[in-house]
Amino acid sequence: MTAFTPDRRRYDLDWLRVIAFGLLILYHIGMFYVTWDWHVKSAYTGSFAEPAMMLLNPWRLALLFFISGVALRFAADKAPALPFAGKRFVRLFIPLLFGMLVIVTPQSYFQLLRTGEIEPGYLAFWQTYLTAPKGFSITLPTWNHLWYVAYLLVYSLLAIALMPLVRRIAAWLDGEGFARILSGGRVLLLPAIPFIIYRFTLEMQYPETHALFGDWAAHARYGTIFLFGLLFAKSGAFWGAIRDQWRAGALAVLISGICLSPLWAHWDWVETHPALMQLARAWRVLYAWMVIATLMGAAGHYLNRPSPLLAYLTRAVFPYYILHQTLIVVFGVWLSGYALGAPLEFISLVVLTTLGCGLGYHYLIRPFGLVRPLFGVFGDHGRAAARQLPTPAE
């Protein structure tokens, strides 16, 4: 284990970000097969993968927002606010705009073909798509999976504007009193309290839409975890607590998964028992935070070291994220025409999506200075290993 120092490069969080994006890609491949609604569906839909996806769903995006908050704090502490805000806007807005106008379009095309709202003909649809037409079941143009980038852009600009206040609060939280509050395993419990409150207040009124405006419960949830990243980025008390408690956290996560999975699998029955249903809802929120804390604590022990692979993947993972869902949709629709059977189709989709992300980045994005900014890669790609915990868009 590497000793915590506030300004030391956090290779453990770099690794966690790469792992989290990798799990996100697998999760979206799973969405092609499970019974839940998605843009397009395989002919082999079923519930087989749903228990694993239910265990992943509560924390996968929250972990990314937390790490993004940490990353922003490290970067903001080394740059004047106004130029940094301008740079942050460019680095997130360009890939968001390009993604909406070009990368995401095939997802909308195949989705509307599935629902019978358009006729075949991609180029004709793309021209229509760019005019922001009305009358479809989905909003066009759309950001689909790139909503994370849009939300991160808004949170980043707000955080930069409030950074002096953030630093003062963070310094107060890193005092001895806060360290005592987090000791004895309370770090696995107390930070979950605001999210439990949101679950029984805002989330009852505002279902998650990813539409930016009106998505108040999602903003409370993701904005708070992003704020936690900002506040705890350089907190010795926080990182020391989760490193001390990650084994207890792992046990708590295991027990929670064993207990929650059968409840989720029989949710219709759970809904007939109101007290049990509310307990399960609160427990799910607590489970999510315990997973995040446990992963960060374990990563601090085992992953806080550099490697050439990490330097490469840190740079590549954001383009992978931008590309992956469109590749899943396009390859999934193509594979559906061959009646391969569920196992072979799934394996083929995983392989094609992985190759598409990897080869697309290495040969079509990475070598070209004019293309890299469209996918959130700025500057000389050889400098990645020398930078202090870049955000996903750096």
What pLDDT is stored for residue 72 in this prediction? 97
Domain tally, the chain = 1
What pLDDT is stored for residue 168 in this prediction? 94
What pLDDT is stored for residue 137 in this prediction? 95
Structure tokens at 336: 């559906």
What pLDDT is stored for residue 181 in this prediction? 85
Q: Tell me the mean pLDDT per 10 residues along the chain, length 394.
A: 65 96 96 97 96 97 97 95 96 98 98 96 97 95 97 98 96 81 90 98 96 96 98 93 95 98 97 98 98 97 94 97 98 97 98 98 97 89 44 47
Parent domain of 44: 11-104+143-251+287-386
What pLDDT is stored for residue 180 in this prediction? 82
Nearest residue to 112 (alpha-carbon basis) of 137, 134, 132: 137
Global pTM reads 0.94
| Position 114 in a domain | no
The string of DSSP letters for 93-147 reads: HHHHHHIIIIISHHHHHHHHHHHTSS-S-HHHHHHHHHT--SSSSS-SS--GGGH
Residues in the chain: 394
What pLDDT is stored for residue 7 in this prediction? 62
Nearest residue to 390 (alpha-carbon basis) of 65, 70, 24: 70
Please state, as a whole number, how many other Cβ atoms lie within 10 Å of the Cβ of residue 57.
Answer: 15
What pLDDT is stored for residue 174 in this prediction? 81
| Position 226 in a domain | yes
| Position 274 in a domain | no
| Position 47 in a domain | yes
| Position 66 in a domain | yes
| Position 391 in a domain | no
Nearest residue to 288 (alpha-carbon basis) of 7, 20, 50, 5: 20
**Exposed, middle or buried, 348 (CB in 10 Å: 0-12/13-18/19+)?**
middle
Q: Is 368 helix (H, G, I), strand (E, B) or coil?
A: coil
Which residues, at least 6 apart from 168, have a Cβ–Cβ distance to it below 8 Å? none
| Position 131 in a domain | no
| Position 5 in a domain | no
